[in-house]
Amino acid sequence: MSSRIPASPAPGPAALPSAPRSGRLWVEGVAAAMAALYAALKLYWAFGGDGLKSTIGFSEDLWHDPLFELLGLWGTVLLAALGALIPFALVKPWGAVVPRWMLELPIGIGCAFTVLRGIAGIVQESLYLTGAISSHYPDVTGAEADTVARWSLFLYSPWFLVWGLVLGAIGLRALRTDKADKASKAAKAARALREASTG
């Protein structure tokens, strides 16, 4: 009787692609922290807080516009909250209830938007502060416009850029994980077919 090496036990049903070890989840933590801080600031403004409003360059009329309050404040709070959850949904079991593409697509869109926002802000504010272009803030002028530009150049725009790069790293790792899992499943299927044909 021929001897055969028993096949490895079939793994249980996979809830989601292989997740990185907990020690490698720091990038998701950075993305979540940046999203949470952004949401907290917008929530503070949505509830009537005035701190840091002068660093944005918006008029009081805009701050009290109902459409801006709905979309520019509450809407971005919701988006930022999702931005804090989605990176972890890609690597945690509870995220398996959502199709992968519904998690990866927002990551890609968020990466593109925040990177472009960050780069555009850095370039624009640098040009303004060096005198290459005039102020692009219609509601502030002079020293106030300079202050707004410096806040954007040294805090807000770099914040968006770093946030976008972090999201990009998460998205690339998710795509690599998907590719590796597909290759693993294909290899298991081929091995099972060979074993069935020689059994």
The angle at the Cα of 161, spanning 163 to 145, to the nearest 5 degrees, equals 120
Distances (CA, A) of 69 to 19, 65, 168: 38, 6, 29
Q: Mind listing the pLDDT tens digit for each residue in 11-48? A: 444 444 555 555 568 999 999 999 999 999 999 999 99
Q: Which among 47, 43, 34, 45 is positioned nearest to 83, based on CA atoms? A: 34
What pLDDT score does 14 carry?
Answer: 42
Task: Tell me the domain boundaries of the chain.
Answer: 25-49+57-187
Residue 10 is predicted with a pLDDT of 46
**What per-residue confidence (pLDDT) applies to 195?**
78
pTM of the model: 0.81
Q: pLDDT (tens digit, 9 = 90+) per residue, 80-139?
A: 999 999 999 998 888 889 999 999 999 999 999 999 999 999 999 999 999 999 888 888
Give the integer Cα–Cα distance in Å for 75 and 60.
Answer: 19
Q: Is 180 left (phi over 0), alpha (psi -120 to 50) or beta?
A: alpha
Q: Is 152 a residue whose pLDDT tops 90?
A: yes
CB 147 within 8 A of CB 83: no
Q: Are 139 and 62 in contact (CB under 8 A)?
A: yes
Structure-token pair, residue 138: 């219609």
Q: Which two tokens stand for residue 80?
A: 């930022």
- 152-170: average pLDDT: 97
Return d(Cα 100, Cα 81) in angstroms, integer. Answer: 19
- The CA distance from 38 to 108, in Å, is 19
